Amino acid sequence: MSCTTVDVKAYFLGELPASERSSLEGHVHGCQSCREELERLNLMQTALLSLEDQDVPQRIAFVSDKVFEPRWWQTMWRSGPAMGFASALMLAAAILVHTYARPVAQPATISTVDTAQIDERIQREVGARVDAAVAKAVSQTEARQTEQIARVLDAAEKRIESQRRSDMAVVQQAARLYEQQTARLMVAVNNDQRAGQ
Ligand SMILES: [Zn+2]
């Protein structure tokens, strides 16, 4: 039995079948590196059990163990209970990468902020100018409308006045006509009376 075929961790976690346990114990007894590995696992378990959080996944030892191996993430991927820790680790790595990547990205961020501020300033300026133009147009329109209304009112007044005058003329004419007709009638009546006598 060589070190490569021995699963000290499985033994430590009690995952080895009884048939394999005795042969492993025999190997560990004669192999210093496997004995040290087992001692290390025992130490780690003691440390983990001393933590307040008793829900720490048992296989967290594997995760911390394999981190510096080239394919450590594959081990974590296969290890279900460690996935929570793996996700946390990946998140931590992402945050770390982000933190280191940030100073490089900062000039772009600043220019973006500046652009946004300039954009906002332009928007505000344009808004103010549009408002002023609209206000001016409205006041001009109002002035024009007032002027127009005044003109229309004036014209209407004049029209009414001239209408009144022409109406008066018609009335006066009618009155004169009536007077003339009455006078003619009176003459006729007088003539008839005189003829009848
Ligand atoms: Zn060994």
pTM summary value: 0.28
Neighbour-count burial of 151, counting CB atoms closer than 10 A to its CB (0-12 exposed, 13-18 middle, 19+ buried): exposed
- Determine what percent of the chain falls in helix, strand and coil, rounding each to the nearest 5: 85, 0, 15
Direct distance between the N- and C-terminal alpha carbons of the chain, in angstroms, rounded to an integer: 176
CA of 34 to the centre of ligand 1 (A): 4
Fill in the amino acid letter for 27: H
> For residue 16, how far is its CA from the centre of ligand 1 (angstroms)?
16
Largest separation between any pair of C-alpha atoms in the chain? 180
Mind listing the pLDDT tens digit for each residue in 69-97? 444 445 544 555 555 555 555 555 555 55
Kindly report, residue by residue over 10-60, the tens digit of the pLDDT: 888 888 898 889 999 999 999 999 999 888 888 877 776 665 554 544 444
How close is the Cα of 21 to the center of ligand 1, in Å? 14
Closest to 139 measured CA to CA, from 128, 129, 147: 147
Ligand 1 centre to CA of 90 (Å) is: 32
Q: Which residue's structure tokens are 């344009």?
A: 126
What is the Å distance from ligand 1's center to 82 Cα? 25
Is residue 65 within 8 Å of residue 79, measured between CB atoms? Answer: no
Is residue 59 a contact partner of residue 79, using CB atoms and an 8 Å limit?
Answer: yes
Please check the confidence at residue 1 and state whether its pLDDT lies above 50.
yes
Output the CA 47–ligand 1 centroid distance in Å. Answer: 24
Measured CA to CA, the distance from residue 115 to residue 110 in angstroms comes to: 8
Dist. CA 36 → ligand 1 center (Å): 9
